[in-house]
Every structure is written in C-alpha cells, then in structure tokens.
Amino acid sequence: MATTLDATATIAELLAEHGPLHLDDIAARLRQTGQAEPDPLLGEVLDEISCPARQLVDDRWVWLPALLSGRTFTHRLGAAEIAHDILTVTPDLDPISTLCEHEQYRRLADGSPARVVLEEFDGALLQQRGIPAGVIDPNGALLLAPGTLRGLGVAEGDLLGVRLDEQGLVVERVATPRHAAEVAARLAATLDGDEPVYFAAAVWTACAADPSLLREPAPPLGELVGEHALAQRGEWLAPAGFDFDRWFFERGCVALAERHDLDPDDAVALYTLLQIYDQLSLLIAAADADADEPPAETLAAAAEDMSRSQAEQILGLVGELGAVLAEPLLAEVLVAETVGTGRAGAAALGVFAGILEPRVPRAARVACRWLRAVALERIGDIEGAEGELLAAESLDPNWPLPLLDLARIASDRGDAERGLALLRRADAEPDHPLVELLELHRAEPRRDLGRNELCWCGSGRKYKKCHLGREQLPLTERAGWLYAKAIQHTLRSGWNDLLVEVGYERARYSADDPDALEAALGDPLVIDAVLFEGGAFAEFVAVRGSLLPDDERLLAEQWLLMQRSVFEVEQVRPGQGVTVRDVRTGDRHQVRERLGSRQLKAGQLVCTRVLPAGDSSRFFGGVEPVGLHQRDALIDLLDTGPDPVTLVAWLSRRFAPPALVNTEGDPLALCEASVRPADPVALLPLLDDTYDRVEGDRPPRWFEHVTTGGMQRIRANLALEDDTLRVETNSEMRMDRVLATLARLDPAMTVLEDSRRPIPTIRDAAKLAGQLPSSGADALEPDDPEVAAVVENLIRRYEAAWLDEPIPALAGHTPRQAADDPTRRGDLIKLLDTFPAGESARGGMDADRLRAALRL
C-alpha cells in the first residue's frame, strides 16, 4: 500500500497534468497507477491542511502550485502596510497567499520569510514586530521580512505584484495593469445569482478556464469588483446587487437551527436576538474599556446607560422576539451562543436581560431573571446570582432552569434534601448527575431518636423541628461530594478550553480512536490537573466557597496546600487501604482506598494527590504508575510546579508506542541522499581519508563506523556510482553529519536528492514492513537454530555490557555499583523485578541471569 507521502506526490502529478479533476476521476486514475483502494488515501491527502490542493466552484480539485505558477496578483499599497511590511490578503491576494498555509511556501524565492498572520492567533509575533493592534485586517495579512517593501522602493498607492515561480513566491513592483474587463468577465462567469462563492475559488476557477489569465498584471481584484458589476463581502463574491445582509442572516438562522435542532421560526427569532446582543456587547466593550469599577457595578451602570441611550433604537421588535425565551430550551441556547461556559460577554448578557425584561410577555420574564443570574454568576457574584434565581422562582415556581441552579447552590451548602426537592420540581431525570450526587450523599434520619424527642444537638427543640431531614454526613463521607462540587464548577465556568487542551495530551497516543478525546476528558488525572495545577479549584473556593459548610470550606483550603507527589506503596490492605510514603518528603499516609488497594502492590511507585478527608486520607485525581527510571525526572518536574498541560503530557508518555532509536539514541529514520561531486576523481582520496573503504567493492563503497556498547557499528554507507555519490543512514542526525562533512570536502558539490522517512514508533515500522516482501530468498526464518544462536549470543553480550552501563533508573549508577551500595540495592532489585525471567525472557534479557551475575 502506498504511503500518504507517495500518494500526495502522485495526486500532485495527476492534477498538474490532467486537472482540474473530480474526486471520481482522481480515484480512477489512481487505480490505473496500481492503487487498489484510493478512497481512504484521498481522504487523507485532499485535506487543505495537508497539501495545497483546493476545490473550484464546481467542486473539481486543482493543484494550486501548478495552477498559479506564473500568474501575478496585484495589490495597492497603504501607508501602514509599507511601515510594517505587511500585505492585506483579502480579497486581492487571497488566491495566492493560500499557499502560505503550507510550510514549503512560507518564504519568498529569495529565502526571506513570508507567512499569513491573524491578530487573534499571532499576537506575540506582531508585538515582537512592533505592529499595533488593529493594523492587521481581520481576515489576515501576509507578513514579510522587515525592510522588504522599503527595499522595493514603493510608496503609498503603488501597485505590488505577488507571483509564483520555480523558486517560490516573488514580491515585486508591477507596471501599469491591463485586461481588467477580461478578468472581471471570467470572474462573473463563475457566479450563481442565488448564492455567493468563495472569492479565491472563483479566481482559481477562472484561471483553470483560461490558461492565459493574469499572466500579465491586472488591476487588484478588489478594485475590479467595484467597477465591473460584481459584489464582494469579506471572502465572498457575488453578482452586483446581491443582498449579502439577507444571505448572511438566512445562513445564520439555518446554521443555528441545525446546531441545536430548533424549529425554523424559533431559530429566526433567536438569531435576531443574538444579533442584537452582539451589537450591545460591542457597545459595552467600548464603553467599559477604561472602566475601573468592579464587574457588578459596571453591569448596573452599563444597563442604565444603555436603556437611556441607544437601546430603544436597537430593540424595536424585542418584545415580540423575546417571547420565545419562555421556552427553556431557547433560553439555554441563548446562553450557549453568547457566553457559553465562560465569563467573556457576561456583562453584555446582564444588560441584555435587563433591557428585555420590561418588554417581553410575563411568561418570558422568568427567563430574563435567569439570564441575569447567569451573568452575575459568571462574573463571580454568587450572592447576587442567588437573589435573581429566587426572584425567577417566585415568577414561575415550575420553570426548570432557575430550579436547577438553585439545586446546585443547595448542593454546595450541603443541603441534599432541598436540592432533591428542587430537582423534582424541575422534572430532572433520575440519572441526572446532580440527582445521583445528592442521592449518594443523603443522610439517614437518626434511629435512636423519636420525631418528638429533644434534638441531639442540644438546641432544646424537638428533633422533627430541628435536624430531622437536615442531618449531615461525617466530613469523611462528604469529601467526595466536595470534590464533585468543584468539578461541577469547573465544567460550567469557562475552563473547557483548558480541559480540551489537557485532554488532548492524554489522548495524544490514541489518535486512531475517534472517541479518545471524549474518554480523556473523563479521565481523573485530566480534571484533577485542571482543578489544581490549572487553578480551577482555587477559583471554586473563591467564588463558591461562601456557600460551603464551614468544615468543608476549611477542608477545601487544606486541599489547596497539598501538592501532587510521587509515593512508594509500603503496605497494602486489600479492600481497605494502603500505606504510602512520599518519596520527596518521607511523610507516610494511611489512605482509605477500596478499589485501588486491590490493584496496588507493595514497592510500587505512583504519582497521585493524597488529600485529607476528615479523619482519613484519600487518593484524588487518579493514581498514575511510575517506573523506577522515571522517578527522579518526575520529582524534578513536580518541583518546578508544572502547568496542567505539561504535567499530563509527561504522565501520559507511558501510553506512547515504544520509540525506535539507533545505537546512538537518534530517532530512527530511513535516509537516502544523492550528491554530485564537482570532481569525482579528486574526491576519492578525500573519502578514503575520512571513511573506511570496503576493500574490493566495485563501485567503491565506504563505511563510517562508531563504537557503542563496546561494539563497532556502521553509522553511514557511501557508494560512488559514476558521477553520483549515494549516502544511506538510519537517522537524520547521521545524514546531516555526513552531508556537512561532504560539503567541507567538496564545497562545490550539489545535493541532487535528500529523502528522509522517519520511523519514530513500532507502529510506523509495522507500516513500513507491510510494504516490504514477506518472503524470498533473503528472508530470515526466526525459528532457524543458527538465527536463534546468533540472537542468544547478542543478548548475552548485551547483558554483560549492561551490568557496567550507567542506568537512569539507578540515578546514573551502573548495576554493579548499585549492587554494592546498600542505599541503591533496593532500587536495583525493584528494577530487575520488572524484567522477564526464565522462559518468559526468551529472546530478551533474563532477570535471573542478571541477578546471578550481580550475586543478588
């Protein structure tokens, strides 16, 4: 089966020679080249992120480098562009600057860098270049090396051309443009009166239809639009007179309906409300840019200002449209589309709700109160949010959204019974996470007291009037509840982006599993790292800590002081708990752990967080196994106070396929290069002096040798055939070293080809093996006695060398040194316990032989 790299080259050749082509045509031509199943490869290759292939207006595919080569795209320069060496790409340069999305086109033909930048994603780079905010167009700009435009001698208003030649992109001044009408006519021919098309796709389609188009400089595409019956909005192109506003609105309504499975009429009303919210949000952001008031005061002041000033103009039909918010689903969608789970935009949401409330029907006013509560909670005013929720409840005791939020507040306060009562009124399902959490933490009434007896607490009141129905579990049993409250806060309070970033690191080595990221987001380590290393738990305590029972608040503050560490399991009590020793501090902890105690073993190293839980300790955030060789490196990492992404990435390396390296530790790669010497005859003695010549070989061949592990090994293979020197190595570092040496020996040499295929993991090696013959005269038979004897001899020699090699797991000591050192012998024994022994060690190192050699 062809590799993706080979398929990309093949498809590039097909499209360059025969394109544009539809997918079916590409697949048919790939079958003709011997590719039996082209469809999976097409899905991998024809990805706009992976390669410079793009679709035309009619869905045919083209290879952009072939299509655009030799065509010039012009742009009229502005003063800011010259000052900062940037070129606004939309619309004039979009068709060609698309190439800069791919690494090989991120520099000009002269070697200077060129890349498309967006202010949202490239802020640090723009700041480094001294480019102020607002200078870069929202659709991006082509960032050139400093001094590029000044070096061309251009001034404001001059025309600049960008074209592609064999060496790459060229930026140059252009002469007076021509052929404006011809280009405009070709663009117009690509359009449909009912729908706009992507501007760049229209240009590519026009170029595919006319091989001579833009071979000579034409006026900038943006100028052509206004002069030749065309209309343009951002990256879209349409016939003159096209109603872009209506089209964007209708498109937004359809997308909203599809995203949330809404009735089309509801989607229209809700989308209109969202447009009004967006305008309010922009106005509030501008008004509050220099405000110093706390968020709550800012919210109130902005609401008052907006209601006096521009609100009436913006909200002409707000009463009629806001009626849809009486439906809880639509109110939830409004929150999801405005603030989501984050804080950004919360002030505008509160203002919006305040303006809506007096204008909507009474049935929808409960939604406005709930929206204000959401806004206040997002900005950290939990008391104000609770007041709005109670007001919403009084407006409609059965409207579910305030009840759900009040139930969460009741849960935070430790009042399971009130929380469950609220959830029942909200018609929450039995499997609702909050229902299950509260059911799990209900306290049973005391059996040693009658309802009419004096309460156990000493209040002097009857039990039924005092604590009946309000009993509280011991703190030990509420520790898990506290942890769950913090998780709920994290999931609802703007931490999703960090969760996904951390989850990605956990799922990094399961790329073939489409559900890997979703599973990772539920991994205990991921959420715990975001809680503690990420700061979500500290925010939970700051925002909602006032709701917690006093003992839980104190426990939460204790947890903030506890660090994740590496622990050695010293004693296991299956089904009950374990005793662990913190290897950083020496502290011992008795941990109550039913499930984990059945899986952990004495002597095992783990990374976890041991947190106090009343009169006991608990593991929280998962228990990560740690290899002995990883212990010291992990301790060093923990001492730096790593962020959650770094921590989880480190602890997730155990899921990575074994990395393949050569004997020098270089990542394995199949590297081949062809070099043309300036004078092959003169090079011969220089190669003889530098490398070890293989006597008698014709054509002449040389080896570069290196000694590792006490054995001499081949580093590189060189062969001179006629006027071409071929080089083979098994790592890129080795190839770089050889090519650098050859350049020193023959500065005038030419590198004709340099092919490198990384094989970082066994999975990659397996793919490569699948492309090689599985049988033949040269194939090795693994059960051949001679082969087995050779392998056994190599293993014995490696074991003997291993005994005197520094081992990272032994802090750089050799096994012999560790065996003689009482402080290291325990680590050595643990390390050998991880090796196979006896029959299970067939074909590998044998722990029993190693123990015997070390007299253990």
User: SS3 for 399-419, per residue?
Assistant: CHHHHHHHHHHHHHCCCHHHH
pLDDT confidence tier of residue 118, bands split at 50, 70 and 90? very high
Per-residue pLDDT, averaged over 184-200, amounts to 90
Per-residue pLDDT, averaged over 626-639, amounts to 90
Give the model confidence (pLDDT) of 478-507 as tens digits: 999 999 999 999 999 889 999 999 999 999
% the chain with pLDDT above 90: 54
What single string gives the DSSP state of each residue in 348-415? Answer: HHHHHHHHHGGGS-HHHHHHHHHHHHHHHHHTT-HHHHHHHHHHHHHH-TT-HHHHHHHHHHHHHTT-
Task: Give the pLDDT confidence score for residue 774 in this predicted structure.
Answer: 42
Angle at 544 between CA 543 and CA 548, to 5 degrees: 150
User: SS3 for 743-809, per residue?
Assistant: HHHCCCCEEEEEEEEECCEHHHHHHHHHCCCCCCCCCCCCCCHHHHHHHHHHHHHHHHHHCCCCCHH
Angle between helices 4-18 and 38-45 (to 10 degrees): 80
Q: Give me the CATH topology for the region 669-770.
A: Double Stranded RNA Binding Domain (3.30.160)
Structure tokens at 158: 């001059």
More confident residue, 716 or 300: 716
pLDDT confidence tier of residue 190, bands split at 50, 70 and 90? very high
Give the model confidence (pLDDT) of 381-425 as tens digits: 999 999 999 999 999 999 999 999 999 999 999 999 999 999 999
Give the model confidence (pLDDT) of 665-694 as tens digits: 788 888 999 999 999 999 999 999 999 999
Task: Give the pLDDT confidence score for residue 775 in this predicted structure.
Answer: 43
Cα maximum dimension of the chain: 111
Task: Break the chain into its structural domains and give their ranges.
Answer: 4-51, 65-239, 251-396, 496-655, 669-770, 785-854
Measured CA to CA in angstroms, residue 104 lies from 7, 99, 108, 163, 174 at distances of: 18, 9, 10, 15, 25
Residue 708 bridge partners (DSSP): 711
What single string gives the DSSP state of each residue in 581-620? Answer: EETTT--EEEEE-TTGGGT--TT-EEEEEEEEETTEEEEE
Task: Give the pLDDT confidence score for residue 469 in this predicted structure.
Answer: 63
Give the model confidence (pLDDT) of 1-47 as tens digits: 345 556 677 888 888 888 899 989 988 888 887 777 777 777 777 77
Task: Give the pLDDT confidence score for residue 760 in this predicted structure.
Answer: 59
Asked if residue 377 lies in contact with residue 387, where contact means CB atoms within 8 angstroms, the answer is no
The whole-chain average pLDDT of the chain stands at: 85
CATH number of 496-655: 2.40.50.140
Which 8-state DSSP code applies to residue 223?
H
Asked if residue 455 lies in contact with residue 461, where contact means CB atoms within 8 angstroms, the answer is yes
Chain-centroid distance, C-alpha 176: 47
pLDDT confidence tier of residue 201, bands split at 50, 70 and 90? very high
- Predicted structure pTM score: 0.73
Task: Give the pLDDT confidence score for residue 456 in this predicted structure.
Answer: 63
Angle at 666 between CA 665 and CA 670, to 5 degrees: 135
pLDDT confidence tier of residue 808, bands split at 50, 70 and 90? low
% the chain with pLDDT above 70: 87
